[in-house]
Chains A and B, each alone.
Chain A
């Protein structure tokens, strides 16, 4: 049931791993060429306590590696709908079981991608001699959860948007990031409380809203002032579950 999706995920993870190894290699190469002179500076920065915060480190990785993987995998059901339903739906499993298996495998793939990203990111910090602090602010746990949940919520939104599509799923992949960013930016425009309330309501369904973060080394503007980590955690979890449910409902109603 999940084998085909696992092959897809494995293939993507292989490409991601190769890309990350290449990135780490490039960083090491350029650091060897140009970075040796600034090594003393880095040592001084570390000694003076200018360390990368853990949330900055984790959040950046989850957004990039997890978000990228979620964007690619998010059209899994749509790709089945592009000429493969006769294989997918003639197995001894219900459509709900099949869709759930696909999404769980994809979720595992996203989690592995984030771990790979964290490994590569950590290597880069080692090469650049930039220590990462393992401590955080008072909301550290909540912030970790929201950044950890973001890729799954992002995946859920894409899978819900694309589950019914047959051929145009790549358009969803191409547009989802710009549209989400534009929606966040639109909310920032000072056009009065009505506008702000409207865009705030629209952005409730935008996972980017919930990763607004202001840290020492990382600032992500979400738009709605959703700075409460707990609220963001709950909202992202709801988006994840809701997106999966919506995608499954659409999948159940499709015809080959």
Chain B
């Protein structure tokens, strides 16, 4: 008999309204144990609001959040670590003070693990936080988060301010933690990082989850026919009515058609418009992301191209 696994993090119908602004609108997703779940979105899409509501830092207007089947209660934070987008460290305290604070707050604090993380990030814990660079402050926050060996990690832009070497370290830490059974919910503006680490993603736009799923399935589900023209990309009416075409984007000289299947037929249709170049690509996460939120960005880019 098969039993359905209880999601480690379950968000259902989460809505947060600030005055007349709906910061998170009926957000739902579920994350299984050991999964790395990437939350993607443009600035103001509602990612941080979702994190804050999930962790009780803000009160949701509607919806429920459960961790390992239980509603959030303070004791659960023994198993949860959170790294906020904006540095919340105390500027007048040293890195060592912050680690001591973590040690005294969490029974699961692992001093050896903390030391290994300090060695990895290589910053001076004797310095006051206000004397550390933004990247070093991020490294301290990450050290505090990973030093307790949490079951659940919620990381809001964890690589913010880090150099590429340390960004790679963070990804490795996440992958390593997930391999050890931890569940990770994180956001990042760096889609390449999400693509490398996450097994599932949700894309948020204007407070809503507009696309969610397994990264590999999402990538395999669509292809992109990309054509470059001499002048502005022409409108090809047949594309709009073709059932294989999910979406067409024109951006200056470039035309992209996102197709579910039947790529050759669509490519032939576009080729008939005499492009300078034409290629059929597998979608990467960036394509998926832009297709999901692309209206605003593509029209803004088109306007920019027209004006420049």
Contact = CB atoms under 8 A, between A and B. Distances in A.
Note whether A and B form a binding pair.
Answer: yes
Interface of A: 1, 3-4, 7, 11, 83-87, 89-95, 97, 255-256
Nearest to A98: B74
Contacts of B55: 89-90
A255 B58 contact: yes
Given A90-B55, A255-B58, A255-B59, A4 B74 contact: no
Given A7-B93, A87-B89, A95-B74, 7 more contacts: A4-B93, A4-B97, A11-B92, A83-B88, A85-B88, A89-B56, A93-B74
Nearest to B18: A255
Interface stretch (B7-15, B77-85, B215-223): B77-85
Contacts of A255: 52, 57-59
Contact of B77 (A7, A11, A90, A256): A90
14 contacts: A3-B101, A4-B90, A4-B97, A7-B97, A11-B92, A83-B86, A83-B87, A87-B88, A87-B90, A90-B57, A93-B74, A94-B74, A256-B52, A256-B58
B130 to A, nearest CB: 12
Contacts of A85: 57, 88
B88 A92 contact: no
A219 to B, nearest CB: 40
Interface in B29-65: 52, 55-59
Contacts, number: 63
Contacts of A256: 52, 57-58
Contacts of A11: 92
Most B-side CB within 10 Å, residue of A1, A89, A94: A89
Given A92-B105, A256-B58, A86 B88 contact: yes
B100 interface: yes
A92 B81 CA distance: 10
A197 B293 CA distance: 64
Contacts of A97: 74
Interface residues of B, number: 28
Contacts of B82: 86, 90
B104 A89 contact: no
A11 B76 CA distance: 32
Contact of B78 (A1, A86, A92, A94): A92
B197 to A, nearest CB: 22
A89 B105 contact: no
B80 A90 contact: yes
B74 A84 contact: no
Given A7-B97, A89-B57, A92-B78, A84 B90 contact: yes
Contacts of A3: 100-101, 104-105
Contacts of B90: 4, 84, 87
A92 B74 contact: yes
B4 interface: no
Contact of B84 (A4, A7, A86, A91): A86
Contacts of A90: 55, 57, 77, 80-82
A90 B100 CA distance: 16
A92 B106 contact: yes
A98 to B, nearest CB: 9
Contacts of B104: 1, 3
B221 to A, nearest CB: 36
